[in-house]
Structure 1
Amino acid sequence: MLKFNVLGPLEIRVDNEKSSIPRGPKVRQLLSLMVLRAGSVVPHRILVDELWGKNPPKTALSTVRTHVYHLRKILAQETDRVAGAHLIDTWSAGYVLRAVPEQVDAETFLRLARKGESLLHAGDVCEASRVLSRALELWSGGVLTDVTCGPVLMQHVQHLQEMHMRVLQQRIEADMRLGRHGGLAAELRSLVVRHPLNEWLHGQLITALYLSGRRGDALHAYQELRGILQEELGLDPSRAVQQIQQVILSGGDESMLRHPHNWRWGAAVGQLPNAS
């Protein structure tokens, strides 16, 4: 089966074997955009905007046709010649890559993300954790790490990166609700280093440390967050994180800490609404 991977370096795989991909940067851009819009016509103007932005050359359309010609040849070489030659259809308005969602890793990721979120909301926390973990396992790095992205591709990249963070947060929430605090603490330590302004992650680290019996480490993690926010933004931690600290300091009811969804954390990366 022919598959296209974009959740990491751009890859074409045939029967799970890695195949050659085009070397030219603009051909790779064109292929990447068509993969991310597989099954839909990508208009000429969108391709031109992606490849050249606001100042395309007069030969832009003819150059796009040349890139598509070379791309068809590559796909034909890497797959069955007849099938490969017809993977890209020409329409009056543009081109379409004849691929179904199961052939694109990004589409599989989004399908699993929707399923995992539904399971989490339905209370099937264990299955939600499993499905969300499967979605995250599809990633082998940032989106299209070896492709130069123009303005159109960048929108797709940013959307997928935001979805990755959303799925990661939902999987962490599921694992917190399952009581996997000890194992989460180490993972969250690494995540807050990579995302120092994401208060949600810091809040979960503080909570995981406390519920693992590490009260001192939890309070130290709160002070680290406070220092980062003061230095970078001139702000104090959000009310939600301050309430976590108060529960830890007072030894109050831990039930809220054991169920992150009760704090009404926001999905936005790096910023949380106040808990009610």
Structure 2
Amino acid sequence: MDIDVLGPLGVKVDGLAVMPTAPKPRKVLALLALHVDRVVPVAVLVEELWGERPPRSARTTLQTYILQLRELIGAALERGGRNASADGGSPLSAKDVLVTAPGGYLLRGGGGASDVREFERLAGLGYRAMDAEDFAGAARYLREGLALWSGSALADVTAGTQLEMEVRRLEETRLCALYQRIEADLRLGRHRELLGELTMLVSRYRTHENLHGQFMLALYRSGRRGEALNVFQRLRQVLVGEQGLEPSVELRRLQGAILKSSESAPHTARPEAVGSGARDRLVRVG
């Protein structure tokens, strides 16, 4: 089974798509695919489908969706010619792929590809390369991992509470990898090559301090000191105007170094996690 969640949902069995068209079965498949080879509790699936006030028929209806998914899986197994199990014994059935487990359901990956697992593997290699100051290796691994994304996670699935939480988590890991990849490129002196990308990123993430700091550094090292300072001022106006907050100490320190036209502005700090904790580092105005 091959699973894609870093973009539109894609699940294939023996190379054949298993994709329900109705919204609720798609939600069930998306949650099972995100947690492939792990049990997803019935309570989690019910909350995703109906929120905090499910109907009395929720469990029965969920079983109906599971049966519909098994029908699709069974059809794919039949068309794909998978008529024997791995041990050569009894035929592989849809119940062997979408398993009823104690308290929930489990989707077996069968050793197939998973874009999110591959992304996490490459990102981990990239972070370890950064720690070892192998910036070329870090940039390569992180770029390969980010290339697996074809859009927002689960872009074609209408998310409920559980899926929204998972999508936010995935997008946060994407942003963290992106920040680290840009950091590696900055360490390699690729300042001018990054300007176009950073221009778009700071426009999209209007209050993201770390990306603005990287943009300031890239501009400064490209001989555009005035523009680097303007980036800081625009960010400050947004933070003060929308949140009543001043930029972080780290970003003000970078601004000060640029104002003094130091020969070598400091590298941007590597946060423990992009986004998380950033608000804690801001200083409230007044």
Is the TM value for this pair above 0.5?
yes
Q: CA deviation at 1:19?
A: 2.8
* 167-176 or 212-221, which deviates more: 212-221
Distance, in Å, in 2 between the alignment partners of 1:242 and 1:251 is: 14
Residue 162 of structure 2 is matched in structure 1 by 152
Runs of 4+ in 1 over 6 A off after TM superposition: none
Distance, in Å, in 2 between the alignment partners of 1:37 and 1:14 is: 16
Contact map agreement 1:101 1:108 (CA 8 A) in 2: no
Task: Select the residue among 206, 225, 244 that pairs with 1:196.
Answer: 206
Task: Select the residue among 248, 251, 256 that pairs with 1:241.
Answer: 251
Distance, in Å, in 1 between the alignment partners of 2:194 and 2:13 is: 36
One-letter amino acid of the counterpart of residue 52, structure 1: W
Task: Select the residue among 185, 192, 195 that pairs with 1:182.
Answer: 192
Residue 64 of structure 1 is matched in structure 2 by 62
Determine if the alignment matches structure 1 residue 143 to structure 2 residue 166: no
Distance, in Å, in 1 between the alignment partners of 2:54 and 2:260 is: 63
Structure 2 unaligned regions, length at least 5: 84-91
**After the TM superposition, which residues 1-276 of structure 1 pair with which residues of structure 2 at under 5 Å, given as runs?**
2-13=1-12, 19=17, 21-79=19-77, 80=80, 82=83, 83=92, 85=94, 86-99=96-109, 103-254=113-264, 256=266, 259-260=267-268, 263-265=269-271, 267-269=273-275, 271=278, 273=281
Q: What is the number of residues matched between the two proteins? A: 268
Per-residue CA deviations over 1:107-143 (Å, capped at 9, x if unaligned) read: 2111211111111111111011100011111111111
* 1:93–1:235 CA distance, 2 compared to 1 (3 A): closer
Q: Secondary structure at the match of 2:54?
A: coil
Contact map agreement 1:78 1:84 (CA 8 A) in 2: no
Contact map agreement 1:136 1:164 (CA 8 A) in 2: yes
Contact map agreement 2:254 2:265 (CA 8 A) in 1: no
Contact map agreement 2:217 2:265 (CA 8 A) in 1: no
Q: CA deviation at 1:196?
A: 0.1
Distance, in Å, in 1 between the alignment partners of 2:102 and 2:247 is: 54
TM-score normalised over the length of structure 1: 0.89
* 186-195 or 149-158, which deviates more: 149-158
> Which one has a larger percent helix, Structure 1 or Structure 2?
1
Contact map agreement 1:38 1:101 (CA 8 A) in 2: no
Contact map agreement 2:7 2:153 (CA 8 A) in 1: yes
RMSD: 2.1
Contact map agreement 1:109 1:138 (CA 8 A) in 2: yes
Contact map agreement 1:101 1:107 (CA 8 A) in 2: no
Q: Secondary structure at the match of 2:99?
A: strand
Q: CA deviation at 1:157?
A: 1.2
Per-residue CA deviations over 1:148-168 (Å, capped at 9, x if unaligned) read: 212222221111111111111
Distance, in Å, in 2 between the alignment partners of 1:265 and 1:71 is: 42
Q: CA deviation at 1:240?
A: 1.3
Contact map agreement 1:8 1:140 (CA 8 A) in 2: yes
One-letter amino acid of the counterpart of residue 7, structure 2: G
Contact map agreement 1:88 1:98 (CA 8 A) in 2: yes
Residue 88 of structure 2 is matched in structure 1 by none
* 1:162–1:43 CA distance, 2 compared to 1 (3 A): same
Structure 1 unaligned regions, length at least 5: none
* 1:100–1:134 CA distance, 2 compared to 1 (3 A): farther
Q: CA deviation at 1:205?
A: 0.4
Q: CA deviation at 1:69?
A: 1.0
TM-score normalised over the length of structure 2: 0.86
Q: CA deviation at 1:169?
A: 0.7
Per-residue CA deviations over 1:219-268 (Å, capped at 9, x if unaligned) read: 22222222222221233322211211211121224152xx33xx354524
Q: Secondary structure at the match of 2:2?
A: strand
One-letter amino acid of the counterpart of residue 227, structure 2: D
One-letter amino acid of the counterpart of residue 252, structure 1: S
Distance, in Å, in 1 between the alignment partners of 2:18 and 2:146 is: 25
